[in-house]
Amino acid sequence: MKTSKEESSKLKINYQLKNEKSQLKPIIGYINFGQKEIDLLTRKVTYKRIIFSTGIKILPADWDAELKMPIKTDDRNQIQEINRNIRIVYDKLLKKGVIDFDEFKEEIDERILGKEKKEAIVKVRLVDFIRENIVASNTIKKTSKSPYKNLIGKLEEYEKQIGKVIYSKDVNEEMYLDFIEFYRPYAERINAVWAIQKVFKAVLKEIARFYKIKVFDPATELSNRDKIQAENADAVYLNMEQIQMIIDFDPEEDRLYNAKYIFMILLFTGCRESDVYKIIPEAHHSVKGTSFNYCRYITQKTETEIICPILKPLQDMFDENKGKPPRKIAQQKLNLYVKELAFKSGLDQEVSTTYTDSTGKKKKITKRLHEFISSHTGRRSFITNLINFIPLPTLTKITGHKLQDKSIIFAYNKMTLLENAVMFCNQLRRATEENPEYFPFSLVD
């Protein structure tokens, strides 16, 4: 059995000078206390770190990079006092048993900031808070940080326009709405305005939670007419006949063939682009006349476990490539190649659709079909083509969506993921047999 002294030795505290454009650089602290996380896909073990702001800012010349400590005595004494407080909190929680990550961080913030400093933090600059507490966090996924980085950029441009920095105490209804109006010209569609509004609200909510202070709350303090609603935008999808054209097209260029391979995975699994390279027919199921290969993976966006059958057109492509998956390419390139693939497959008819611009006006847009197509068209097409033939509880377990209906009856659906995949294949076979005019090619053997 480990002694308290041995457990206490796990506590490691390090400091780093944060690289920012300002002359004074903040000192950021990192705490490792042996708490592990396991990646469910790779089984790789990583250590969770608590990242916190010391509240100390210094010139780079006053930082000892080798010792990772300030050079000046007063600054170093403040760091030593922070270390002492962290160890007090750690030893106190250690006596209770297993240390809870969130409880440890909360108590550290409380003790380090203290009541007087906490009152001063009411003046926290928005962009500093986002950088230090969200973008620098190791508990938030990289993909989730992108909209926050966008908000930082736009807030800094807004600060230049109004000639002053924005602190949390400055955010009120007038400033909030003025910033939204400032952002509209940067956005083509209303959903982009809604998205940055959503991120801004999340930042204000996190400041209120982190510092336990009251901040402006758009959800409760804005009138309904000032709240921007997301639009369920009109978007194209490929029907089965159009997908047949993709299947039939045989690209000569290797890059287009690889793009077709990736697009086929999206079209026949409904997965997100972020998960497309996880789709490998790694297992086989064959019971009572139902036989298929399938993949098992965990989604990157929602960490949902999925078992997805490999439908026949996709299995044919895997077989053609001897089971070797497609090469990875950047999403921006993939979207360009998919448009070219669609064009060369003959999907160039004129299509009209509508959208709401950033000012709330409805507009019509007409393009060639291939110009509308992106990697996400694959997921959208998979769902649209099957949603009227496969029950939602079954389909959502394949795509990783969450049922919006919270009726208690759905909580009693304890079907395993493999059982769900079997039901999906059986229902799909029946749908294709009964609707040959809608399904021009076989999806399951």
- Residues 368-397: pLDDT tens digits? 999 999 999 999 999 999 999 999 889 999
pLDDT attached to residue 405: 58
Output the pLDDT for position 1: 34
Looking at the predicted structure, is the pLDDT value of residue 307 above 90?
Answer: yes
The β-bridge relationship of strands 283-287 and 69-70 is unpaired
pLDDT for the residue 403? 66
Fold (CATH) for 240-434: hpI Integrase; Chain A (1.10.443)
Quick count: other Cβ atoms within 10 Å of Cβ 46?
11
First to last CA, the chain: 57
Q: How confident is the model at residue 231 (pLDDT cuts 50, 70, 90)?
A: confident
Q: Which of 253-267, 288-302, 371-385, 401-415 has the lowest mean pLDDT?
A: 401-415
SS3 for 200?
helix
Tokens (6 digits) for 355: 């959208």
Is the confidence at residue 5, as pLDDT, over 70? no
* pLDDT confidence of residue 196: 95
CB contact at 8 A, 290 and 380 = no
Three-state DSSP state, 95: coil
| DSSP β-bridge partners for residue 351 | 367
Which pLDDT belongs to residue 23? 77
**Listed ranges 20-29, 133-142, 355-364, 402-411; the one with the highest mean pLDDT:** 355-364
* Whether 126 contacts 155, CB under 8 Å: yes
* Burial status of residue 334 (CB atoms within 10 A of its CB: 0-12, 13-18, 19 or more): buried
Segment 103-114 mean pLDDT: 74
Q: Is the pLDDT higher at 212 or at 69?
A: 69
For 316, residues 6+ apart whose C-beta sits below 8 A from its C-beta are none
* Amino acid of residue 415: M
Average pLDDT, stretch 11-40? Answer: 82
Tokens at 388, concatenated = 């009227």
DSSP characters for 121-144?
Answer: GGG-BHHHHHIIIIIT-SSS-HHH
* Alpha carbon 340 to its chain's center: 28
Residue recorded with tokens 């073990």: 45
Q: Which residues contact 351 (CB under 8 A, 6 or more apart)?
A: 236, 366, 367, 368, 369, 372
Q: Is the pLDDT of residue 40 over 80?
A: no
Helix ranges, 284-375 (H): 312-320, 331-344, 369-372
Report the mean per-residue pLDDT for the chain: 87
Kindly state the percentage of the chain with pLDDT values over 70: 90
Tokens 């509880």 belong to residue: 393
The pLDDT, as a whole number, for residue 4 is 45
Closest to 52 in 3D by CA, of 91, 18, 22, 95: 18
Lowest-pLDDT range, 81-85, 100-104, 164-168? 100-104
Q: Which of 41-50, 195-204, 308-317, 403-412 has the lowest mean pLDDT?
A: 403-412
Burial classification of residue 48, based on how many CB atoms lie within 10 Å of its CB (0-12 exposed, 13-18 middle, 19 or more buried):
middle
Q: What strand order describes the sheet that includes 283-287? A: 283-287, 290-298, 305-309
CA–CA distance from 182 to each of 131, 157, 174 (Å)?
21, 9, 12
pLDDT at 362 over 70: yes
C-alpha 343/C-alpha 349 separation (Å) is 9
Rounded Cα gap, residues 236 and 233, in angstroms: 10
Question: Closest by alpha carbon to 83, among 54, 49, 58, 105?
Answer: 54
- In this predicted structure, the answer to whether residue 233 has a pLDDT above a threshold of 60 is yes
In degrees rounded to 5, what are phi and psi of residue 428? -70, -40
Count CB atoms within 10 A of the CB of residue 435: 12
Domain extents for the chain?
A: 1-120, 124-231, 240-434
Contact 68, 54 (CB under 8 A): no
* pLDDT recorded at residue 120: 47
What are the residues whose beta carbons fall under 8 Å from the beta carbon of 42, sequence distance 6 or more? none
